[in-house]
């Protein structure tokens, strides 16, 4: 009998076919959004699940004792209770690296849109308000020759930094730990404290993951340090920025503009963002090129196959869970 897996959202049909060669797949290709209770019911009796941001908690593990593997189709994994998964012998994986360059491209698209007021200008044209040229129409902030500050200097952060060389920018960064000298030289980036970075940067890009330590890493006091002409681009995780504080900073022109791909309560967002002309808003789509999304989906499927075959790979978040699994003998019947 094949192990049973759940795919709770629609995905490329070839991914379902790939999984079906190995598992009994319960899929949701109609993409009918499951309620939390609906997800729990569909998860019952499954040995694996391919996740699209759905949470897996200790309660889910208690109600689904058959579960052996969860595969997150994203880099972030704050939707997973990793300690509980490990204690239950459930392997967890994510999909890093395959989206680095695409996400870096999008960070630049957002940053430049905010700096050059692209969103405002497009709305102006669409509303039929463009009547001709004036000397001060939609004056923005230069990107070339300015200082780029990157908060979160992992692989995506370094990919963003590499692109800055073509714009003759000075790159400064802040990270939980300073990079090795070789990586700093490759990125042509200088390490600063968070406060120093916020004071110096013309354009700040946030790539930090969410955790208790990064909750509201950027709040009112941090925004107060930024230049009035500065922009803030956020492609990390919701909760790293205090959305209320950012709204106030944009309303009062404490900073010039922001570009946001993530929000604290997404897919809901504070309605006050919608009233602001100086913010670019996108629906958590930084890695959304077709080629990259297909690579993420295939990696997530392959991770699920490997995990249910007791294999630990480079994207396994809790390899120690395999030892627990052996002790608990959680293999499917």
More confident residue, 42 or 328: 42
Residue tagged active-site, from 9, 40, 266, 294 = 266
Two structure tokens written together for 303 = 């991770």
CA 311 to chain centre: 26
181 contacts: CB under 8 Å, gap ≥ 6: none
Which of 264, 311, 295 minimizes the C-alpha distance to 96?
Answer: 295
Q: For the chain, which residues make up each domain, given as ranges? A: 4-96+290-328, 100-281
Neighbours of 131 (CB within 10 A): 6
Q: In the chain, count of helices (H) and strands (E)?
A: 13, 12
| Residue 332 confidence (pLDDT) | 52
| Identified catalytic residue from 18, 174, 237, 325 | 237
One CATH from 3.40.50.1820, 3.90.70.10, 3.40.50.300, 3.40.50.720 for 4-96+290-328: 3.40.50.720
Q: Residue 279: pLDDT above 50?
A: yes
Can you give the pTM of this predicted structure? Answer: 0.91
> Which pair of tokens denotes residue 159?
């990919």
Say how far residue 143 (Cα) sits from the centre of its chain.
Answer: 24
CA pair distance 229, 249, nearest whole angstrom: 12
Question: What radius of gyration do the chain's Cα atoms show?
Answer: 22
**Token pair for 127:** 């509303």
266 classed as catalytic = yes
Q: Report the pLDDT value the prediction gives residue 329, as an integer from 0 to 100.
A: 66
Average pLDDT over residues 105-116: 98
What are the φ and ψ backbone dihedral angles of 258, each rounded to 5 degrees? -140, 160
pLDDT at residue 302 in the model:
98
Task: Please tell me the predicted confidence (pLDDT) of residue 330.
Answer: 47
How many other CB atoms are there within 10 angstroms of residue 270's CB atom?
A: 14
* Token output for 316: 């396994």
223-269 pLDDT per residue, tens? 999 999 999 999 999 999 999 999 999 999 999 999 999 999 999 99
237 catalytic per annotation: yes
Average pLDDT of the chain to the nearest whole number = 96
Do 4-96+290-328 and 100-281 come out as alike in CATH topology?
Answer: yes
Task: Assess whether 14 carries a catalytic annotation.
Answer: no
Average pLDDT over residues 193-222: 96
Report pLDDT digits (tens) over 119-166: 999 999 999 999 999 999 999 999 999 999 999 999 999 999 999 999
Tell me if 80 sits within 8 A of 56, measured CB to CB: yes
C-alpha atoms less than 13 angstroms from C-alpha of 148 in its C-beta half-sphere: 34
22, 155, 216, 284: the active-site residue? 284
Question: How many Å apart are CA 33 and CA 41, to the nearest integer?
Answer: 13
CATH of 100-281, one of 3.50.50.60, 3.40.50.150, 1.10.357.10, 3.40.50.720: 3.40.50.720
In the predicted structure, residue 331 carries a pLDDT above the cut 60: no
């Amino acid at each position: 009998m094949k192990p049973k897996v759940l795919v709770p959202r629609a995905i490329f049909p070839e991914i379902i076919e790939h999984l079906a060669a190995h598992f009994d797949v319960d899929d949701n290709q109609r993409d009918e959004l499951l309620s939390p209770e609906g997800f729990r019911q569909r998860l019952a009796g499954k040995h694996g699940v391919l996740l699209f941001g759905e949470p897996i908690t200790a309660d889910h593990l208690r109600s689904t004792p058959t579960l052996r593997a969860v595969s997150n189709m994203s880099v972030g994994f704050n939707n997973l209770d990793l300690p509980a998964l490990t204690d239950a012998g459930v392997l967890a994986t994510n999909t890093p690296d395959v989206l680095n360059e695409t996400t870096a491209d999008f960070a630049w698209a957002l940053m430049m849109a905010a700096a050059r007021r692209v969103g405002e200008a497009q709305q102006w044209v669409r509303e039929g308000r463009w009547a001709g040229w004036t000397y001060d129409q939609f004056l923005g902030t230069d990107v070339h020759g300015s200082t780029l500050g990157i908060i979160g200097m992992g692989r995506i952060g370094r990919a963003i930094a590499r692109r800055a060389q073509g714009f003759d920018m000075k790159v400064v960064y802040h990270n939980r730990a300073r990079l090795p000298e070789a990586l700093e030289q490759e990125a042509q980036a200088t390490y600063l404290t968070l406060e120093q970075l916020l004071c110096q940067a013309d354009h700040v890009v946030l790539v930090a993951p969410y955790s208790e330590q990064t909750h509201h890493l950027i709040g009112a006091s941090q925004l107060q340090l930024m230049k009035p002409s500065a922009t803030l681009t956020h492609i990390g995780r919701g909760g790293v920025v205090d959305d209320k504080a950012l709204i106030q900073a944009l309303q009062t022109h404490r900073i010039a503009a922001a570009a946001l791909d993530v929000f604290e309560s997404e897919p809901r967002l504070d309605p006050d963002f919608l009233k602001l002309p100086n913010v670019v808003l996108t629906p958590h789509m930084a890695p959304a090129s077709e080629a990259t999304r297909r690579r993420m989906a295939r990696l997530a499927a392959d991770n699920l196959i490997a995990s249910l075959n007791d294999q630990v790979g480079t994207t396994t978040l809790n390899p120690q869970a395999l030892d627990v699994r052996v002790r608990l003998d959680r293999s499917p019947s």
